[in-house]
């Protein structure tokens, strides 16, 4: 089966102030439906800029981002790295997951919306913890709840932005096993942004390696340590 | 006690105000706006003085000042780091104006005390209607924007990712808060408004696990405070705001103690 593209980036130049010193320059790549793409690179190479451009929070300085079949039809779920959830945060995991069901609708969730929340709690293994306050959940459980919240809107494309950065190795693998299962079972396309090359190689099917002013992309088995170090060193 | 019309009016107005404050207070707490609420109450005092100076009902002056200033705060302090300083500056300006208008209007000090600390006997049936109408408007707007307001208040990062228009939502909420402050001031006075707008919701946060649950609990705590406060004030002839403040503060300290003992188990 030939995969259809879901997102195509053509000659993208992106940054914040002006086109003279952009963070990303002339970037080209395609993400197909069902891909598990890992975007790797050091701090400051433009991973967040690229994510903000894909999320349509930042306009390209040059070039364009095309969504298929259309920009409106592609529903994007995003799991950011940081959330302000302290130990006194009152909402239960179930209520937190349901926050993403917005719209000018009745304040309470409908029966079908409640079912969607429950299904996602089951998918992410949180069904037994659904009534626990988010403030008392562990780091791994919180990340699963963020994931469930992003998934409750049934996205076509799921972006995990450094979501595993603060987790211990066991929780990292647990979360990514879950993402892998969602990618395969629910056919959700995944973009996983990370520093961790080993983790990217273990789970992703494709990669995009960003370095200052340049990039390389391909199938994940082409991502070798030599390639990574070569790109990093040439810009030191 | 209910043979007196002023007590009937006070109980009716207090009930409406407690429901309004319990509900909106949940968002005040979630959005960390206790400080702004306190400032809006000072601005309300200035507005009431302006109303007196202009020979308007004080509530109208309050509505004008709190609404205009909340829009200014909303426009000037989008960045949280700047918010407290902007609020302090605006607060100082409005307290100054309040003192100026009060002195220009030639009213005596007891009038100022009424504005600052509230008055039970001053509430007419017409006031009850006005308070109810304003409360219904505020609650109706919350009903319509509820899901967006809930998302933005309890998970601002998630709401931003979703593309919720935070600036419009923030200004709409500030206007609703301004209305609530002006309405609540009728019973507890502008100085003690934040009692009803923050403490019941802050207590509810410790015990409820859903936004609906927090609202229900906050409304119950606010209702106990105003009903019991009015009764004790009637019996003892002491200021109602003293009793409401004390009851709500006891709720809060009780909640803190309960939480402390739960954590140490």
Integer-rounded Cα radius of gyration of chain A:
18
Using CB atoms, which residue from A78, A107, A146 is nearest to B147? Answer: A107
Beta bridge partners of A158: A77, A190
Residues of chain A where predicted confidence (pLDDT) is lower than 70: 1-2, 18-20, 229, 231-236
- Number of structural domains chain A divides into: 2
Q: Does the pLDDT value for residue B192 go beyond 50?
A: yes
Distances (CA, A) of B252 to B34, B198, B218: 14, 10, 11
- Kindly report the pTM of this predicted structure: 0.87
Q: Mutating which of B141, B163, B210 best tests the A interface, going by the most A Cβ atoms within 10 A? A: B210
The pLDDT of residue A18 is 64
The pLDDT of residue B198 is 92
Nearest-by-CA chain B residue for A159: B161
CB contact under 8 A, A133 and B154: no
Least confident of B59-63, B148-152, B175-179: B59-63
Plot region of A213 (φ>0 → left; ψ -120 to 50 → alpha; else → beta)? left
Structural domain of A209: 1-75+155-236
Q: Residue A1 CB: number of other CB atoms within 10 A?
A: 4
CB contact under 8 A, B150 and A133: no
Q: Chain B partners of A91 at a C-beta cutoff of 8 Å? A: 154, 209-211
CA A38/CA A26 separation, integer angstroms: 19
Same domain, A117 and A27: no
DSSP secondary structure letter of residue B192: G
pLDDT tier for residue B264 given thresholds of 50, 70 and 90: very low
CATH of the domain at A212: 3.40.50.300
Nearest-by-CA chain B residue for A92: B209
Q: What is the mean pLDDT of the segment spanning B154-180?
A: 89
CA B107/CA B122 separation, integer angstroms: 16
Q: Chain A partners of B163 at a C-beta cutoff of 8 Å? A: 56-57
Q: What is the mean pLDDT of the segment spanning B185-205?
A: 85
Residues of chain A contacting B, Cβ within 8 Å: 55-57, 78, 80, 82-84, 88, 90-92, 95-96, 99-105, 107-108, 131, 133, 146, 149
- Report the Cα–Cα distance between both ends of chain B, in Å, rounded: 45
What CATH code would you report for B5-259?
Answer: 1.10.3470.10
The pLDDT of residue A118 is 93
Q: Does the pLDDT value for residue B97 go beyond 50?
A: yes
The pLDDT of residue B265 is 37
CB contact under 8 A, B143 and A107: yes
CB contact under 8 A, A88 and B205: yes
Q: Chain B partners of A52 at a C-beta cutoff of 8 Å? A: none
Same domain, A206 and A192: yes
CB B210 within 8 A of CB B102: no
Long-range Cβ contacts of A227-233 (<8 Å, 24+ apart): A228/A40, A228/A197, A232/A42
Nearest CA to CA, how far is B30 from chain A (Å)? 9
Q: Chain A partners of B164 at a C-beta cutoff of 8 Å? A: 102
Beta bridge partners of A39: A193, A208
Nearest CA to CA, how far is B162 from chain A (Å)? 8
Same domain, A181 and A229: yes
Q: Chain B partners of A78 at a C-beta cutoff of 8 Å? A: 161
ipTM of the complex: 0.84
Same domain, A114 and A176: no
Domain boundary among A120, A153, A186: A153
CB contact under 8 A, A133 and B209: yes
Using CB atoms, which residue from A96, A99, A108 is nearest to B212? Answer: A108
CB contact under 8 A, B211 and A103: no
CA B257/CA A95 separation, integer angstroms: 26
Same domain, A161 and A236: yes
Residue with tokens 């395969």: A184
CB contact under 8 A, B210 and A101: no
Same domain, A55 and A159: yes
Domain ranges of chain B: 5-259
Nearest CA to CA, how far is B152 from chain A (Å)? 9
Beta bridge partners of A12: A27
Q: What is the mean pLDDT of the segment spanning B120-124?
A: 76
Q: What is the mean pLDDT of the segment spanning B97-114?
A: 78
Residues of chain B contacting A, Cβ within 8 Å: 143-148, 150-151, 154-159, 161-164, 205-206, 208-212, 214
The 3-state DSSP class for residue B204 equals helix
CA A17/CA A58 separation, integer angstroms: 11
- Report the Cα–Cα distance between both ends of chain A, in Å, rounded: 42
Same domain, A27 and A11: yes
Domain boundary among A96, A122, A153: A153
pLDDT tier for residue B80 given thresholds of 50, 70 and 90: low
Instruction: Give CA angle at B62 (B57, B66), nearest 5°.
Output: 160
Domain boundary among A105, A120, A153: A153
Same domain, A66 and A7: yes
The pLDDT of residue A187 is 87
Q: What is the mean pLDDT of the segment spanning B200-204?
A: 95
The 3-class secondary structure across chain A, one letter per residue, is: CCCCEEEEEEEEEECCCCCCCCCEEEEEEEEECCCEEEEECCCCCCHHHHHHHHCCCCCCCEEEEEECCCCCCCCEEEECCCCCCCCCCCCEHHHHHHCCCCCCCCCCCCHHHHHHHHHHHHHCCCHHHCCCEHHHCCHHHHHHHHHHHHHCCCCCEEEEECCCCCCCHHHHHHHHHHHHHHHHHCCCEEEEEECCHHHHHHHCCEEEEEECCEEEEEEHHHCCHHHHHHHHHCCC
Q: Does the pLDDT value for residue B119 go beyond 60?
A: yes
Cβ contacts from A onto B, under 8 A: 63
Nearest-by-CA chain A residue for B205: A90
The pLDDT of residue A233 is 64
Structure tokens at A98: 């349901």
CB A27 within 8 A of CB A12: yes
């Amino acid at each position: 089966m030939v995969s259809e593209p879901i997102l195509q980036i053509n000659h993208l130049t992106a940054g914040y102030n002006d086109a003279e010193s952009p963070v990303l320059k002339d970037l080209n790549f395609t993400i197909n439906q069902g891909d598990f793409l890992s975007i790797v690179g050091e701090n400051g190479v433009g991973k967040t800029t690229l994510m903000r451009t894909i999320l349509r929070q930042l306009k390209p300085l040059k070039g364009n981002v095309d969504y298929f079949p259309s920009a409106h039809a592609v529903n994007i779920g995003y799991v950011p790295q940081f959330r302000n959830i302290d130990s006194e945060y009152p909402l239960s995991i179930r209520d937190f997951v349901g926050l993403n069901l917005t719209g000018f609708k009745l304040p309470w969730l409908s029966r079908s919306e409640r079912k969607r929340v429950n299904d996602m709690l089951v998918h992410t293994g949180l069904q037994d913890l659904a009534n626990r306050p988010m403030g008392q959940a562990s780091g791994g459980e919180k990340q699963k709840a963020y994931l469930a919240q992003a998934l409750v809107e049934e996205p076509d494309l799921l972006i995990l932005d450094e979501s595993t950065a603060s987790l211990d190795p066991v929780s990292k693998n647990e979360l990514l096993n879950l993402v892998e299962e969602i990618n395969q079972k629910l056919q959700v396309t995944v973009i996983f942004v990370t520093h961790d090359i080993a983790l990217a190689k273990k789970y992703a099917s494709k990669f995009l390696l960003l370095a200052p002013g340049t990039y390389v992309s391909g199938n994940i088995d082409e991502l070798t340590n030599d390639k990574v170090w070569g790109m990093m060193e040439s810009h030191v | 006690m209910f043979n007196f019309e002023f007590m009937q009016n006070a109980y009716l107005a207090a009930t409406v105000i407690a429901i309004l404050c319990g509900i909106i207070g949940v968002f005040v707490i979630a959005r960390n706006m206790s400080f702004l609420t306190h400032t809006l109450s000072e601005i309300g005092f200035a507005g009431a003085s302006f109303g007196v100076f202009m020979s308007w009902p004080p509530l109208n002056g309050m509505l004008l000042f709190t609404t205009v200033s909340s829009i200014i705060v909303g426009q000037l302090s989008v960045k949280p780091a700047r918010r407290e300083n902007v609020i302090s500056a605006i607060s100082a300006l409005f307290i100054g104006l309040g003192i100026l208008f009060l002195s220009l209007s030639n009213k005596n000090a007891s009038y100022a005390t009424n504005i600052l600390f509230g008055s039970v006997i001053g509430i007419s049936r017409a006031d009850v209607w006005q308070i109810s109408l304003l409360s219904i408007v505020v609650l109706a707007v919350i009903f319509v924007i509820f899901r967006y307001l809930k998302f933005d208040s309890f998970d601002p990062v998630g709401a931003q990712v979703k593309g919720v228009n935070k600036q419009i939502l923030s200004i709409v909420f500030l206007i609703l808060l301004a209305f609530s402050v002006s309405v609540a001031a009728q019973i507890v006075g502008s100085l003690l408004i934040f009692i009803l707008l923050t403490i019941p919701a802050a207590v509810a946060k410790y015990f409820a696990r859903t936004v609906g649950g927090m609202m229900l609990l906050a409304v119950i705590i606010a209702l106990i405070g105003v009903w019991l406060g009015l009764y004790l004030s009637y019996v003892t002839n002491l200021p109602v705001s003293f009793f409401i403040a004390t009851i709500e503060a006891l709720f809060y300290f009780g909640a803190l103690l309960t939480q402390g003992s739960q954590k140490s188990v």
